[in-house]
Structure 1
């Protein structure tokens, strides 16, 4: 199974400040974001959304939410592997895009998002 880095996601109370900082330092620009049921923005470089900003007003500081990787493997194969690991996970789907997201709770608190386009 081959994985490709997809994006980093951050939780923050001030999405605009984080967006401005990524623009000033890395030249990342806002772009299309699926209609998730929570506020946020996606920041792009050369057509790839590298940073996802999730806006949560109750936070005092920005914090890493998760690291995402994508694969061309079928989502059912990915899910079977995750289940075999024994690690806790949750499954979601990106609105309008059809991408399956498997959020895996890693030891130490890190969350990985594993993305696959096929159906279960």
Structure 2
């Protein structure tokens, strides 16, 4: 199974400040974001959303939410591998895009988002 880095995601109360920092330092620019049921923004470089910002007003400072990787493998194959690992996970699907997201909590507490395009069911 081959994985490609996809994005980093941060939780923050102030999405604009984080957007400005990534824009000023790395030249990332805001772009399209699927209609998730929570506020946020995606920051792009050359057509790739490298940083996802999840806005949560109750936070005092920004924190890493997760690290995402993508694969061309079938989502059912990825899910079977995750289930075999015994690690806790949650499933989600990107609105409109249909990409399956498997959020896996690693032993160190870091969350990995594993993205696959084809269906699970």
TM interval, shorter chain, is: over 0.9
Is the counterpart of residue 115 in structure 1 residue 115 in structure 2? Answer: yes
- The Cα of 1:64 is off from its aligned counterpart by 0.0
- The Cα of 1:108 is off from its aligned counterpart by 1.5
* 1:32-81 residue CA offsets vs partner (Å, 9 max, x unmatched): 00000000000000000000000000000000000000000000000000
| 2:84 equivalent in structure 1 | 84
- The Cα of 1:24 is off from its aligned counterpart by 0.3
What runs of 5+ residues in structure 2 fail to find an aligned partner? none
What runs of 5+ residues in structure 1 fail to find an aligned partner? none
Q: Distance in 2 between matches of 1:6 and 1:50?
A: 7
Q: Distance in 1 between matches of 2:74 and 2:64?
A: 27
| 1:46 equivalent in structure 2 | 46
| RMSD, matched Cα | 0.2
Other structure's SS at 1:8 match = strand
| 2:55 equivalent in structure 1 | 55
TM-score, with length taken from structure 1: 1.00
Q: Distance in 1 between matches of 2:109 and 2:65?
A: 10
Q: Distance in 1 between matches of 2:80 and 2:42?
A: 29
User: Moved runs in structure 1, 4+ residues, more than 2 A?
Assistant: none
Alignment: residue pair count:
120
Q: Distance in 1 between matches of 2:108 and 2:2?
A: 24
Other structure's SS at 1:113 match = strand
- The Cα of 1:15 is off from its aligned counterpart by 0.1
Q: Distance in 2 between matches of 1:69 and 1:116?
A: 9
